[in-house]
Structure 1
Amino acid sequence: MSRYRVSMDIGGTFTDVVAYDEETGRYRATKSSTTPHDLTEGVFAALTALVPDPSDISFMVHGTTQGLNAFLERRGVKVLLLATAGAGDTYHIARGPRTRLYDLHYRKPEPLLPPRDVVEVGGRFDATGAELVPLDEEAVRAAAKRYAAEGFGAIAVAYLFSYANPAHELRTRQILEEELGGDVTVSLSHQAAKEWREYERTSSAVVEAYTGPVIRRYLARLEESLAERGLRVPLHVMQSSGGILRAASARRSPLQTLLSGPVGGAVGGVALAEALGRPNMICVDMGGTSFDVSLVVDGKPDISPEASLEGLPMLMSVVNIHTIGAGGGSVGWEEAGGLRVGPRSAGAAPGPACYGRGGVEPTVTDANLVLGRIDADWFAGGELDLDVQAAERAVAGLGERLGLGAVAMAEGVCDVANAKMAQAIRTITVSRGIEPREFTLVAFGGAGPMHAVFLARELGIAEVVVPRFPGAFSAWGMLQTEIRKDFVEPYFHVDEDLDRADAARRLAALAEEGLRALADEGVPESGRRVEHAVDVRYVAQEYTLTVPVHGADEPAREDFVEVVAKRFAQLHEARYGHANPGAPIEFVTLRTTAFGDLGRAEAERLAAGAGEFPHRVAPVVFGGEPRDTVVVRRDDLAHGHAFDGPAIVVESTATTVVPPGFTVSIDAIGSLVVRDEEKA
């Protein structure tokens, strides 16, 4: 009988797997080194350690950075873009603002294809969707011949006003499939992003075409391998929005999975916020390569209707995550007599010097090992032996160039890394008017708990929570999510011209579409629900805020415009620090999100403990001096145990470092709750 709910998270350095036993109610987690040459090797190495027989799996979800890495490393496929005649330069003209005003070397973002790979096609609709010029089908067939002759890997189609009438884009795909066969990858802009703004919609279609074949091939191979090993349930994939969908759906809409890897932790943060009764959380995920920051505000993830990667925009629902190159594998280096840390990472191969795989450059992990903050004998649960002397040689070598000893150099590497990470947290909080001191800091990832308390002290945050299995928390978070499908419809009306009955009918139609989509995803009727919102702006403004709508029938109410205007003013005040109540507003986009509950793995409760717990005392460097420090295995701690820092808590997926001046307690679900003694 199938009994395990399993999640898999592939990172740049490690692949994490979490399994929840539905019979016993217990979790297990493990990790293996990511295998860049064939990611499925790392997946199965970790999976078989927990669930040897995939036929025992009742639910499986997967998050991957495969598409994101293809984008960042510019190893996607060659894309041919079909654009409306006369508007072929839209993608390369892009937008005019300089995002770094005082950067003398600023250059516009590099597009994913050159101007010569844009083909203009005759045909035109107006803004209402009325046809002005019929589609030039011969131009489409000529483009198909060029595609076949010049080695393109995908086609993006982005015609003007296709969000209002997609007929030309749909016909274009039919012609391309007639000419090139049904296996050709074609991304239509109205399907990638059914919204206004032709540049952003075009960019979304190009990104999907560029990364889509990579994602599709990877998912197809993973599904095939799992089926060969006996998996009998559908594979689900995380979306950038924090929801999941079946792998078959993900292959049809690969853009939605582009940021699927990092969002698991944000979803886990929402579940943790609910379990702990702390609605506001800053979630930090520090792995081997990167440091990701996301927010939980009032118990909900911070989600935006658009995203940008390396300056290229995409219109899709996405959990707001700020990422910098700072991880356990980040390399420390010298430049102009100063210390730099990251963004370059030693990765999984060769990895930090202490891994003994040929790495010689000092990393953040090496620095922590030199300071005694990592248990060399029980790193990753004892599965990886660390070479302390190799770490000391690497750190000391950098110290010689900067005139510092090994210990001082190690603390310097950690301090610089902490400063970069603290600034990343300020970017997503203080710069948006959010006071971090009013939030709880949740730390996860293999290296997150090692640095979290230092970050909290830097930012004035009084409480840090380290959940169970922190090194695999993103994978744990994937088990707490649900099916999510987003539907949008452009709807341009100023407040005084709004047809409230028509708006209600359109939202109801979107709701029906969403519920049908949930049925296609295998969601039982009792687990389906929809939520609605509308994008609003002040008249003559450019950008919008998303305002919740309480039911598809709410627009029919006589006071709907006044109610939405009030909600919009409150959101505007919170976001920008000012509002203009009474000013005319404009409705821009109707949004419906369909959610499907497939069940979830409940948080495991720990038995209460009393008295002493096994531990040892070892010297660990804090503030330049070795301090007697409690070293305890997390498995030996129970609900109710408490102790003072300095302390090191070791476990198979992470290490938590608690400097002097902080206390640690264990809550009912096994979280480490670290509090500043001065703020307690």
Structure 2
Amino acid sequence: MRVAVDTGGTFTDFVAEAEGRLLTHKVPSTPGDPSQAILSGIKDLESQAGKKVKEVFHGTTVGTNAFLTRRGAKVVLLTTRGFEDVIFIGRQNRPELYNFMVEKPRPVVAKSRILGVNERVLADGTVETPLTQEELERIRNWVRKKNPEAVAICLLHAYLFPEHERQIREALSDLELHISLSSEVRPEFREFERTTTTLLNAYLAPVMERYVARLSRELPGRRIFIMQSNGGLMPAEAVAERAVMTLLSGPAGGVAGAVKLAQALGFNRILTFDMGGTSTDVSLCDQGPTYTREYELEGHPVALPLIDIHTIGAGGGSIAWFDPGGALRVGPQSAGADPGPACYARGGTRPTVTDANLFAGRLLPHRFLAGRMLLKLDLAERALVELTRNRGLTPEALALAILEIVNTNMEKALRKVSLERGYDPREFVLTAFGGAGGLHAAELAKRLNIPRVLIPKLSGVLSALGILTSEPRFDFSKGLSLKISPDYETLKKGFSELRARAESELRALGITKDLIFEEKVDLRYRGQSFEITVPFSPTFEEDFHREHERLYGYRLPDTPIEATALRLTIIQKRPPLEWPLFQGGQELRSIETTELLVSPQKRLRTPVYLWDELPVEAEVSGPALIIGDYTTVYLPEDFRAACDRYGNLHLYPA
């Protein structure tokens, strides 16, 4: 049996495959120690299936949380003398042009823990200032005095000439520290991005290494893989070297699962909408996931290939509150799993989106998580009443306002990844998942004029399903000197050297069979500041001209082309997952009704259907609720829903 685990802020989701059969499970997350929820869930699944787990695929938030809370490792940074302030100067971009009270991102290392190394290699490889044995001894003594857990080394032009970085690592090798070299983490130019990416890797590596080691001890005999931000898996033993690649581990699984399901149904252009208990993640996928190397987390660039995901603090646990000016806000603060929304009866007293949905009749107290968890309607109402005190609002008006505001926040996120990037959302299918996605998807589609919404049968655990269907993937790159002529044979030789290094690393991890290689090259016209990545082939120059014309409306065929980096992606192919057919029921019938709040003064008696009892190809007219094991779908009055042969729901305007 293989099990995929997605650790969220509120729930930990499981999808297991045993002899072609899919099993699902969900348990409350344990934020203090995420591994406890994982161990509990795996034990439940082994008992349910009567089989032992052999492989565990894990999407984790440990690295993300360590960064956001600044609880990473004690780290020091070694850089070329004169470049100690690179990470503080940054690009001097101003995201809020007229904000005089702007706050700079919190650094992960203090200035007192940065050492300027007395060495200098020029861009052409000339050693202007040699790295002496005396300097190595000075570095070693300084590092020992600072007593760090990890060291980040980022020297000028080390992406082309890494010898000095390697010498420093050798000098520190007996201190039992994790050491991240920029020439290995991101061997490309742009000093700021290379430094921050290397520093974040060092900052997270000991945290991730300890977490994976603890998980491995608790799960002896199981092979553990960690989901990466690029949508691929890596063996757990590689996590220390690639810790920074876990920052979007869980959300990447959701995008991967949505893309594979949508493509199986014939949809190649989708907007993914993953609404969980703490946050909402959205991404645009045109023929596959969209990747970026310009991702920033709280102002810190992560210049590695990641799935382009936009995250906002809007989830079922997002707390409603009034700001000092009297305006109602929803999020980004979340009640999380503990204490959770007020209706969880775990001590939470502030109203959340889940409380608003419950009070509005869009959730049924006795059917939450297929009846495994009973929600308290009276506690949700009490929290709403308390917030409306002395504000001239009824609880009904407040509940609808909360839902309106959270929908507006999520609409802005969808616009950011579509309209603001030149894509028309009307040409895409909105693929909604996560525990709360089905409650809001139809209203968002209406706001953006999206003609179809796809809600997967396993939408409540789709991120875990996406992790289960993912394959090991590794990205390698090699920075190039601008003095190198970008002719085909020269670049081909560079790719041969890069492939040899990559295959050597994968052999050490036991990954040697069923490998697919994808080669790409970064190109630009001489004088330009940024590059376009195109597949490497004998026609790469013409492909670059064509892509430049598509993006910017013109080409410069007489201007010399520069190649700045080679990129190699290696994927280990695995057998595709067979999507199980949906059995369904024989006839369409509602099981009960709910009093749906449609205005502050009016409730409407609305039918409720069980998802598992819908006949294949059955159509449901709104308003209605469709309840699954881990998610509830709200169908507004002017929408219809149809069930396909795999049990997925397709929502569209009536």
**TM-score tier (shorter):** over 0.9
Query: In 2, distance between residues paired with 1:252 and 1:562?
Result: 37
Query: In 1, distance between residues paired with 2:556 and 2:397?
Result: 56
Q: 1:653 aligns with which of 613, 630, 641?
A: 630
- Residue by residue, what CA displacement relative to the aligned partner does 1:378-427 show, whole Å, maximum 9, x if unpaired? 21121211111010011122223432111111000000000000001111
**1:569 maps to what in 2?**
549
**2:61 maps to what in 1?**
65
- Residue by residue, what CA displacement relative to the aligned partner does 1:418-456 show, whole Å, maximum 9, x if unpaired? 000000111111111011111111111111111111111
In the superposition, relative to structure 1, how do residues 637 and 104 fare at CA in structure 2: closer, same or farther (>3 Å)?
A: same
1:463 Cα deviation (Å)? Answer: 0.9
1:517 Cα deviation (Å)? Answer: 4.3
1:582 correspondence with 2:557: yes
1:369-518 alignment runs, 5 A limit: 369-493=358-482, 497-518=485-506
Amino-acid identity (%)? 37
In the superposition, relative to structure 1, how do residues 272 and 401 fare at CA in structure 2: closer, same or farther (>3 Å)?
A: farther
Is the Cα contact below 8 Å between 2:584 and 2:612 reproduced in 1?
Answer: no
Is the Cα contact below 8 Å between 1:528 and 1:594 reproduced in 2?
Answer: yes
1:614 Cα deviation (Å)? Answer: 5.2
Residue range with higher mean Cα deviation, 83-92 or 353-362: 83-92
Query: In 2, distance between residues paired with 1:354 and 1:416?
Result: 20
**1:637 maps to what in 2?**
614
**1:665 maps to what in 2?**
642
Q: Which amino acid aligns with 2:567?
A: R
Query: In 2, distance between residues paired with 1:333 and 1:645?
Result: 31
In the superposition, the TM-score normalised over structure 2's length comes to 0.95
- Residue by residue, what CA displacement relative to the aligned partner does 1:172-210 show, whole Å, maximum 9, x if unpaired? 1111123x1xx3111111111111011111111111111
Query: In 1, distance between residues paired with 2:180 and 2:510?
Result: 25
SS at match of 2:389: helix
1:612 Cα deviation (Å)? Answer: 2.7
- Residue by residue, what CA displacement relative to the aligned partner does 1:145-172 show, whole Å, maximum 9, x if unpaired? 3333344222111111111111111111
SS at match of 1:296: strand
Q: Which amino acid aligns with 2:521?
A: V
Is the Cα contact below 8 Å between 1:518 and 1:596 reproduced in 2?
Answer: no
Q: Which amino acid aligns with 1:103?
A: N
SS at match of 2:219: helix
SS at match of 1:479: helix
Query: In 1, distance between residues paired with 2:201 and 2:298?
Result: 15
- Residue by residue, what CA displacement relative to the aligned partner does 1:462-486 show, whole Å, maximum 9, x if unpaired? 1111112212110000112111111
1:128 Cα deviation (Å)? Answer: 3.0
In the superposition, relative to structure 1, how do residues 626 and 115 fare at CA in structure 2: closer, same or farther (>3 Å)?
A: same
**1:274 maps to what in 2?**
263
1:223-302 alignment runs, 5 A limit: 223-227=216-220, 232-298=221-287, 300-302=288-290
Query: In 2, distance between residues paired with 1:357 and 1:468?
Result: 29
**1:147 maps to what in 2?**
143
Q: Which amino acid aligns with 1:308?
A: E
Residue range with higher mean Cα deviation, 42-51 or 260-269: 42-51
Q: Which amino acid aligns with 1:598?
A: R
1:536 correspondence with 2:523: yes
Residue range with higher mean Cα deviation, 253-262 or 320-329: 253-262
1:582 Cα deviation (Å)? Answer: 3.0
Q: 1:27 aligns with which of 3, 19, 22?
A: 22
Query: In 2, distance between residues paired with 1:130 and 1:203?
Result: 25
Query: In 2, distance between residues paired with 1:162 and 1:492?
Result: 12
**1:604 maps to what in 2?**
580
**2:36 maps to what in 1?**
41
Is the Cα contact below 8 Å between 2:584 and 2:647 reproduced in 1?
Answer: no
1:9 correspondence with 2:6: yes
1:567 Cα deviation (Å)? Answer: 2.9
Query: In 2, distance between residues paired with 1:30 and 1:123?
Result: 55
SS at match of 1:56: coil
1:100-111 alignment runs, 5 A limit: 100-111=96-107
1:11 Cα deviation (Å)? Answer: 0.8
Query: In 2, distance between residues paired with 1:561 and 1:247?
Result: 39
1:218 Cα deviation (Å)? Answer: 0.5
1:54 Cα deviation (Å)? Answer: 9.7
Q: 1:18 aligns with which of 15, 34, 38?
A: 15
Q: 1:331 aligns with which of 302, 311, 319?
A: 319
1:282 Cα deviation (Å)? Answer: 0.5
1:148-167 alignment runs, 5 A limit: 148-167=144-163
In the superposition, relative to structure 1, how do residues 386 and 131 fare at CA in structure 2: closer, same or farther (>3 Å)?
A: same
SS at match of 1:606: coil
Is the Cα contact below 8 Å between 1:30 and 1:652 reproduced in 2?
Answer: no
SS at match of 2:238: helix
**2:94 maps to what in 1?**
98
1:545 Cα deviation (Å)? Answer: 2.3
Moved over 6 A (4+): none
**2:208 maps to what in 1?**
215
Is the Cα contact below 8 Å between 1:77 and 1:210 reproduced in 2?
Answer: yes
Query: In 1, distance between residues paired with 2:653 and 2:242?
Result: 46
1:26 Cα deviation (Å)? Answer: 2.5
- Residue by residue, what CA displacement relative to the aligned partner does 1:268-306 show, whole Å, maximum 9, x if unpaired? 1210121110100010111111111112112x1001123
Q: Which amino acid aligns with 2:301?
A: P
Residue range with higher mean Cα deviation, 630-639 or 373-382: 630-639
Residue range with higher mean Cα deviation, 515-524 or 26-35: 515-524
In the superposition, the TM-score normalised over structure 1's length comes to 0.92
